[in-house]
Amino acid sequence: MRIAMIGSGYVGLVSGACFADFGHHVVCVDKDARKIEALNQGEMPIYEPGLSELVGNNVRQGRLSFTTGLAGAVAQADAVFIAVGTPSRRGDGHADLSYVYDAAREIARATDGFTVIITKSTVPVGTGDEVERVMRQSRTDADFAVVSNPEFLREGAAIRDFKHPDRIVIGTTDERAKAVMAEIYRPLYLNRAPIMYTERRTAELIKYAANAFLATKITFINEMADLAEKVGANVQEVARGIGLDNRIGSKFLHAGPGFGGSCFPKDTLALIKTGQDYEAPLRIVETVAAVNDQRKRAMARKVLAACGGSLRDKTVAVLGLTFKPNTDDMRDSPSIPLITALQDMGATVRAYDPEGMEAAREVLSNVTYTEGAYDCAKDADVIVIVTEWEQFRALDLDAIKAAMKTPVMVDLRNVYPPEEVERYGFSYTGIGRAPAPAGRPQG
């Protein structure tokens, strides 16, 4: 199959490279000439484990290429994926679909023969209908079918997720489109990946519902962590205890500083707005978004308490800036409101992240970026673990303590057992596992 991938960002680049690895011929298109030039030179615009090698191999094999020329790529394609950004629109929180519709207009003018147009971008319910209308308005004689095919990729594990998916959702009732989509995903039949055909609007809603549900699980266990701290329970054991129930499952039950990234904050907000537009308010999702925003700001108060109630003229060492490990994505990362709040409290901030410091410089100011965890800890009054990179899971605590001014650790990801850190002479604060308060009721 010949595939044109419109948009060479996170979703477009990973999807395009994986489709090429299946044996399809893929052309990734992007308006950003510098990005395309860099890709043609083998430079990746994002950090994703294994992506550089995957792209390089398929370019060498002649199955993957990059261009700014949409018309030529679309004219030769059997299928065209729209994988452009849908950021939250300023002012009202709705998904900004202008890039999707601009792409649809250009695609309509360039198609040659029957072409399947697949929306890979995360879009609100009804977007596929509007894409079809825009395309028919742009070119009345075009022969095409519009399909919804949402992505379910986790940053840091995107290639594995693409090649070993839990499910593939395809929203269309057009039989010709179904045949094309079946051929595109045929290599995954060997993995017995379930392909679910639905109506287009249902497929669009599945994506938002999935992200909102996972965000709800994260927020739920974060609130349980707050309660655990008050009553003297251990939230990690609570999470394990409920996660062993097959009806609940253990994934996304890790207490922390709140969710961030390119999907959950944006998609929960867009789903809330959709519910409001259709007079079907989503009260649970509204609460999830509000609680998550409040939690990110509350993390600075946890650091403040660990330092005796004052951060004036103190140095805070922050380990981890990206919203999760194995990515360089800083979008809506909990580290941003945390560091801003620490600075407002009078602290000086030093920070280290294995991949995210270049992106962090774009959104954080007055931060000293260091070359490693031990350099970051130098002369610090407190060290704060924000992102659970593997490099931070087995630190030499003797060396960290020797570098710091005072041995205080705030572990916002519960990377370390409290007793282990305290054995090295640290004052330790974690999430959801404070000691039992004196005089608690027994029973």
Domain annotation covers residue 177: yes
Domain annotation covers residue 96: yes
Output the pTM of the full model. 0.92
177 and 223 co-located in one domain: no
Strands (E) located in 247-336: 315-319
Domain annotation covers residue 302: yes
pLDDT of res. 90: 78
Count of domains in the chain? 2
187 and 267 co-located in one domain: no
326 and 219 co-located in one domain: yes
Nearest to 148 by CA among 197, 212, 194: 197
Look up residue 390 and give its DSSP letter.
Answer: G
Nearest to 7 by CA among 81, 64, 74, 97: 81
296 and 384 co-located in one domain: yes
Q: 299 CB contacts (<8 Å, ≥6 apart)?
A: 257, 258, 334, 337, 338, 341, 412
158 and 32 co-located in one domain: yes
Domain boundary (198, 224, 250) is at: 198
Instruction: Please indicate whether residue 18 is annotated as part of the active site.
Output: no
Domain annotation covers residue 436: no
Paired tokens of 30: 């992007």
Domain annotation covers residue 205: no
Domain limits for position 144? 2-198
pLDDT of res. 44: 96
252 and 189 co-located in one domain: no
Domain boundary (163, 198, 233) is at: 198
Tens digits of residue pLDDT in 71-114:
999 999 999 999 999 998 877 778 999 999 999 999 999 999 99
Pairing mode, strands 144-148 and 115-119:
parallel
Domain boundary (198, 222, 237) is at: 198
Query: What residues form DSSP beta bridges with 351?
Result: 318, 369
Q: Residues 18, 28, 263, 376: which is the catalytic one? A: 263
Question: How many whole angstroms separate alpha carbon 105 and alpha carbon 135?
Answer: 5
Tens digits of residue pLDDT in 103-161:
999 999 999 999 999 999 999 999 999 999 999 999 999 999 999 999 999 999 999 99
pLDDT at 436 over 60: no
Least confident piece of the model among 12-21, 183-192, 279-288, 410-419: 183-192
pLDDT of res. 214: 97
Question: How many whole angstroms separate alpha carbon 51 and alpha carbon 314?
Answer: 40
Strands (E) located in 139-271: 144-148, 168-171, 195-198
373 and 421 co-located in one domain: yes
pLDDT of res. 9: 94
Please report the DSSP string for 43-57 in residue order: --SS--TTHHHHHHH
31 and 91 co-located in one domain: yes
Are residues 313 and 139 in contact, defined by beta-carbon separation less than 8 angstroms? no
Domain annotation covers residue 59: yes
CATH of the domain at 20: 3.40.50.720
282 and 348 co-located in one domain: yes
What is the CB neighbour count within 10 angstroms for residue 158?
A: 26
pLDDT at 2 over 70: yes
258 and 397 co-located in one domain: yes
Paired tokens of 128: 């596929």
Domain annotation covers residue 204: no
Domain annotation covers residue 98: yes
76 and 106 co-located in one domain: yes
275 and 394 co-located in one domain: yes
- Average pLDDT over the chain reads 95
